[in-house]
Chains A and B, each alone.
Chain A
């Protein structure tokens, strides 16, 4: 059964087309990677799937519901870890978790138990009463990940979840997710710029560039299609080598610079 069905999905910002007639399906219980260069349209697609943006054209079915007309049913089925920060700096780490747990209707007992478990998991339990504005970037990210896992959604969206995380936390997070994926049949839809990560965990991959899906299949299929040995090379063969910054927002640009300088 397909838990996500997307047909001809399009998003235009004024006359700029960020997502251009894409179609794909994600099966229930699948771990699906959505890859593409900066500004390709990944986050825009996720925002449409998660009811935050209305598509200009096309249809979406998420767990059998339409995000536009039946947004509440969709929101009941999903969890989202956003690319950009989304914690409240003026609240403590614990209060951020608690806020989330209440919004998602977890009972008090369940909430307390899972909050403790997850905050220990991301090693923030001893900092639970600190205001989030005192956290480092990586700590905020870990908090967001813990928060995203607090309720167990049918489909979990992760937009570059591992950006800025150390390898320990990254591995830790993925084994937790794979466990949830196995035991709860939770579908995972994620984006990343770390190709070896996609290679390792994704069952299926779609590559998007300039708003269009240019390839999809398993990692092995993509490598075979491009006659390459590593997913990174396959990705470069598919999307070209020039850096995409012309259309990127300031944030995109900052991140590109950071990454280029960091090399």
Chain B
């Protein structure tokens, strides 16, 4: 328990100390909110879909969560390169606990980012339907953050250096984000896109955010929860398996 806590605390400290990274990671969601929100808003409205900022904000919250949690999961690769990973790996702590500590650390950071983006989107006009439900949405943010931290750690366990980082961003994170229904409704898209979105776990996360924040849902909250929990458990097991095989 104490070991999980200290691993978690370390990641939080690193997050709080990386001021420039925090600012940088908030600029992107803000840009999306402003450019897409105001740029596409009128078209969206004309098509009879209502207020676009209301629709978009949960998607952008999802974006900042997936980016942050995958990034913090991949931090293991840095730790390996800068040598700190060795210190953790020779300690008498089970690999499973190390994996859990890191997952929770990255997930907490990502959830904080998600909440900050939520507050920023309120500045540009977003209004959740109810604040108690928004608190439930934060729990879902944590769940989504755990899921993608676990995916990040799974990938990081298989990579030796940062060479693959761009590849992961362009071929995994970007598609997961753009095909998740974060920026467009899944109702009227061509069947192929809808099928792909069905296999994208982020779709269910963002769908849950939308249900809780603005009362729009494509899959239904129970489906969202079931899928998210199942996929999270799957990647936690897969991640701890691969992580336990890491050699230096």
Q: CB within 8 Å of B: which residues of A?
A: 47, 50-54, 72, 75-76, 78, 80, 82, 84-91, 95, 98-100, 102-105, 131
Q: B83–A86 contact, CB under 8 A? A: yes
Residues of A within 8 A of B94 (CB): 72
Given the complex of chains A and B, what is the CA–CA distance between A87 and B83 in angstroms?
Answer: 7
User: What 1/0 mask marks residues of chain B from 82 to 97 whose CB sits below 8 Å from any chain A CB?
Assistant: 1110111111111000
Contact call B3/A103, Cβ cutoff below 8 A? yes
- Given contacts A52-B247, A103-B3, whether A88 and B93 have CB atoms under 8 Å apart is no
The CB with the most chain B CB atoms within 10 A, among A50, A72, A84, A86, is that of A86
The answer to whether B2 touches A91, judged by C-beta atoms less than 8 angstroms apart, is no
The distance from the CB of A139 to the nearest CB of chain B, in whole angstroms, is 16
Which B residues, 1 to 56, have Cβ-Cβ distances below 8 Å to chain A? Answer: 2-3, 5-6, 10, 13-14, 17-18
B84 touches A86 (CB 8 A): yes
Task: Indicate whether A102 sits within 8 Å of B3 (C-beta atoms), given known contacts A85-B82, A91-B10.
Answer: yes
Closest Cβ–Cβ distance, residue A263 to chain B (whole Å) = 27
Distance, CA A195 to CA B51, complexed state (A): 76
Using A90-B18, A102-B6, A105-B92 as known contacts, list a sample of 13 further A-B pairs with CB atoms less than 8 Å apart, ordered by residue number in A: A51-B89, A52-B90, A52-B247, A72-B92, A75-B93, A86-B87, A87-B83, A88-B87, A90-B17, A91-B13, A99-B10, A102-B5, A131-B17
* Chain A residues with CB under 8 A of B84: 86-88
B248 engages A52 (CB within 8 Å) = yes
Least Cβ distance of B80 to chain A in Å? 11
Chain A residues, Cβ within 8 Å of B91: 75, 100, 103-104
Alpha-carbon gap, A77 to B6, bound state (A): 21
Give bound CA distance, A131 to B6, whole Å.
Answer: 17
Task: Check B82–A103 contact: CB distance below 8 A.
Answer: no
In the assembled complex, the Cα of A251 lies from the Cα of B20 at a distance in Å of 30
- In the complex the two chains form, is B82's CB within 8 Å of A89's CB? yes
**A49 to chain B: closest CB distance in Å?**
10
Q: How far is the CA of A90 from the CA of B75 in the complex (A)?
A: 13
Within the complex, the shortest CB–CB distance from B17 to chain A, in Å, comes to: 6
**Complex: how many Å from CA A87 to CA B88?**
10
B248 touches A103 (CB 8 A): no
Bound complex: CA A54 to CA B90 (Å): 13
Closest Cβ–Cβ distance, residue A159 to chain B (whole Å): 11
- Main secondary structure, interface of B, reads helix
Interface of chain B residues 76 through 128 with chain A (CB within 8 A): 82-84, 86-94
Beta-carbon contact of B247 and A75 below 8 Å: no
Chain B residues touching A, range:
20 to 34
Residues of A within 8 A of B83 (CB): 82, 84-87
Cβ contacts under 8 Å, A85 to chain B: 82-83
Minimum C-beta distance from A48 to chain B (A):
10
8 A Cβ contacts from B54-69 to A: none
CB closest residue in chain B, given A99: B6
Chain A residue nearest to B246 (CB atoms) is A52
User: 8 A-B contacts, Cβ less than 8 Å apart?
Assistant: A53-B247, A82-B83, A88-B84, A91-B10, A99-B10, A99-B87, A102-B6, A105-B92
Q: How far is the CB of A260 from chain B (nearest CB, A)?
A: 25
Nearest Cβ on chain A to B207's Cβ, whole angstroms: 36
Asked if A90 and B92 make an inter-chain contact with CB atoms under 8 angstroms apart, the answer reads no
Nearest Cβ on chain B to A105's Cβ, whole angstroms: 7
Partner of B89 from the list A52, A54, A88, A131 (CB cut-off 8 Å) is A52
Name which of B2, B89, B94 has the most chain A CB atoms within 10 A of its CB.
B89
Instruction: Return the chain B residue nearest A76 by Cβ.
Output: B92
Question: Which residues in A have their C-beta under 8 angstroms from that of B82?
Answer: 85, 88-89
Give the residue name and chain of the A residue nearest to B5 (CB). Answer: A102
Roughly how many angstroms separate A139 CA and B28 CA in the complex, as a whole number? 39
Task: Report the separation of the CA atoms of residues A86 and B79 in the bound assembly, to the nearest whole angstrom.
Answer: 9
A75 and B92 form a contact (CB under 8 A): yes
Inside 8 A of A102's CB, which chain B residues have their CB? Answer: 2-3, 5-6
Residues of A within 8 A of B13 (CB): 90-91, 95
Q: Which residues from chain A contact B18 at a C-beta distance below 8 Å?
A: 90
Q: How far is the CA of A72 from the CA of B6 in the complex (A)?
A: 19
